[in-house]
Amino acid sequence: MKILGEKIFAKDSEGRLLSRIGTMFLRTSGLVTKKGVHAMQRMMWLDELAKDRGCELSEAEQEAEIGESVDLIFTDDTVLIRPDPDRMDLAFRADEELQKLVSKRRIRYLNTSSRKVRTALTERGENWRMARNPISQQDMIDLIEKSKTAINEESVYYYNHATGTRYTTASGYEAVEKLPPERFRAQVKEVVEALNKRNRMGFPEVDLFPLSTPIEIKQALKSLKVDGLDDAELRKTVDRIDLDWRMSLPAELRDETTSNFEWRNSMCDVITRTPNSTAAEEQELIHGISPEFYRQIEWLPGVRIVDGEVVFDALYEEAARTQNPVLLEMCDSRVKSLIFEMMRLFGEIDYINVGRISRSLARKPVEGNRRGDVYVMQIRLSGCAEATTMMIRMQKWGVSEHLDEGKSLLRSIMEADEYSDYILDRRLMCRQLGMNLPRRLVFGHFTEKYRGRNEYDGVAVRTAYFSRDYVAGIASDKIPAAKYRNPAWVRRFGELMGEAAALDLIVGRRSSTTGELLFDKNYEVVKIGEDGLPREIVITDHAGSFVDYGRELADRVGEYAVFIKDREALAQAEYPLFVSSCLEGFRRGIVRAQQAYRMRRKAFDDLFSDRPYDTNGSGACRWSCALKRLDRCEPEELAEKLKAAVEC
């Protein structure tokens, strides 16, 4: 490849890039990095070819050279490909040529706002090349809080450090409207002037949030003649604009606080955008995914499937060769194993993308609760129009974990297998009692080397995992505040939560380490019907079920008051309706489960008759104890105890 100009990432004595743009030519292989704009670089290349050939290129030859060229942009450590969405083939060819010069992990794609670009990368198994880096929920909140800033007047802006733009919100006006006339005028004038200016980088000094705010509202503010209005007229005019602004807000953004996932995600998005953004959002990569997954998935290098053949990403080879810690972290060996599993199970697959979730998505994670690794897999089977999204969780107690306890290899294998059966048996127990779990759960395992404290370090062991379809909906602990303003919504949600709580109590679902409740901590997903109201609640994971199997239900029911009382501030005027709906749903859930058991007592009692019965807590023992206490409980008494706990 012929290069005109400096090498990529070449810098001067002060550490500044010698060139920030480049043009890759593919018909005649070459790269131009000389200073100028892309059009000038194309002319430089044509002149260089004419010089080499000793004659001018014909018009057709010039068009052919330019037609097979790709724009590049350089940052301090990344090459950005700016693809033509209609010619992704050229972008991919340029990508392959660039990989001869720089590591693939330093090459990213622009124009990810284009569906064609996103689709092309997704189908190559390369979501990781356009996804944002994960960030914890608390870090997002801190980032937003720290971005609060002022210009000369009040702190009513959220600042984007990369573009220099300050964003003001409709709710920010609440503080401004309380100012005395002189300061009110100064603040409004500051906003109006800044809306009409651009900073040295060419971005607005101030902009309105959200970015979807109708242009008419922005124009009304920009054209406001502050000095031409007296105090009363100015306040009246700004009040009217603010009201229009508030009315234009989507329902999910009207609660302008960081506790509102939708608002928090949107604000985090605008204050972290960069001038040359390569990032696609999670909802663009996975259709219908919940907002709680915003920047929580770390997409990883995987495979490209070409004519049914699996081609692993080149970064795996580079990681093995260089032993670079960053690359080794990206090239997760479990991703390769999971992809192998899918290829063996399904055979004909168009593409696979795998990401991992390293943090709990619960608003209030359970203290001390040990979590296995969780992965997200996007897979499209041949002949299917849409991709399927699956959640994959590694078994919490596997062979490796038992080896870490100092046990023998044989004992570790046996106990890991017993635990796998126990997990699946508990799932059947929960379903038998009526718990609404995902319909399909796939159990599998793959081989990996054990790395730990035991003498068996380096031995190949089996790692078990459980896979289920992603359940689209809203986690119960992340319902937007605006939903609680609708009485019909509150009533239906309360009934469903009450019923789910009843079954949660019956199966004794708790943390195995701390004993605290797991209910309403990210596992309960609310699915919405066509009428916009909650249709059902799906319990996405039965983890912790039958941990509490010995104590009477009446001794534990009061603890479930927490999920009701936590919503008093959210439901406000509709709180009494929420309480009564929860209590009724709870009573109905207990009655339904008890009647089902009494009607088919033998079917329930015999379900695990072939399993070992051990009073120290085998699965069969826990099942029997749970059924007996369900049979002797009084539903009305339990509902009254829960009501008393809510009211105290």
Residue 534, preceding peptide bond in cis (omega within 30° of 0): no
Q: Where are the domains of the chain?
A: 2-111, 137-272, 283-469, 474-647
Question: pLDDT-derived band of residue 371, with 50, 70 and 90 as boundaries?
Answer: very low
Closest CA to 81 of 60, 61, 102, 62: 102
Question: pLDDT-derived band of residue 366, with 50, 70 and 90 as boundaries?
Answer: low
Q: Provide the whole-model pTM.
A: 0.82
Mean pLDDT of the region 421-446: 95
Share of the chain above pLDDT 70, in %: 98
Structure tokens, 176 = 């401004």
Tell me: pLDDT of 7 over 80: yes
Q: How far apart are CA 335 and CA 303, in angstroms?
A: 9
Q: How far apart are CA 4 and CA 202, in angstroms?
A: 30
Mean pLDDT of the region 184-213: 93
Q: What is the 3-state secondary structure (H, E, C) of 544-613?
A: CCCCCCCCCHHHHHHHHHHHHHCCHHHHHHHHHHHHHHHHHHHHHHHHHHHHHHHHCHHHHHCCCCCCCC
Per-residue confidence (pLDDT) for residue 39, from 0 to 100? 92
Tell me: pLDDT of 168 over 70: yes
CA angle 121, 123, 128 (to 5 degrees): 45
Per-residue confidence (pLDDT) for residue 370, from 0 to 100? 45
**pLDDT tens, 325-345?**
999 999 999 999 999 999 988
CATH 1.10.3470 given to domain 474-647: no
Per-residue confidence (pLDDT) for residue 138, from 0 to 100? 85
**pLDDT tens, 272-282?**
888 777 777 77
The string of DSSP letters for 476-522 reads GGG--GGGGG-HHHHHHHHHHHHHHHHHHHHTT-B-TTT--B-TTSS
The string of DSSP letters for 99-138 reads TTTS-GGGEEES-TTSHHHHHHHHTTT-GGGTBPPP--HH
Tell me: pLDDT of 367 over 70: no
Tell me: pLDDT of 309 over 90: no
Tell me: pLDDT of 368 over 70: no
Question: pLDDT-derived band of residue 113, with 50, 70 and 90 as boundaries?
Answer: confident
Of 28-37, 285-294, 510-519, 628-637, give the lowest mean pLDDT range. 285-294
Tell me: pLDDT of 145 over 80: yes
Tell me: pLDDT of 34 over 90: yes
Inter-axis angle of helices 88-98 and 115-122, nearest 10 = 50
Mean pLDDT of the region 261-265: 87
Per-residue confidence (pLDDT) for residue 364, from 0 to 100? 58
Tell me: pLDDT of 181 over 70: yes
Which of 112-121, 305-314, 575-584 reaches the highest mean pLDDT?
Answer: 575-584
Tell me: pLDDT of 476 over 70: yes
Residue-wise burial string across 550-572, b where 16 or more C-beta atoms lie within 10 A, e elsewhere: eeebbebbeebbebbeebeebbe
Per-residue confidence (pLDDT) for residue 369, from 0 to 100? 43
Mean pLDDT of the region 9-33: 93
**DSSP type of residue 57:** P
Rounded to the nearest integer, the mean pLDDT of the chain is 91
Residue-wise burial string across 88-100, b where 16 or more C-beta atoms lie within 10 A, e elsewhere: bebbbbbbebbbe
Residues 6 or more apart in contact with residue 48 via CB below 8 angstroms: 2, 4, 30
Structure tokens, 205 = 């000094």
**pLDDT tens, 374-386?**
999 999 999 898 9
Question: pLDDT-derived band of residue 23, with 50, 70 and 90 as boundaries?
Answer: very high
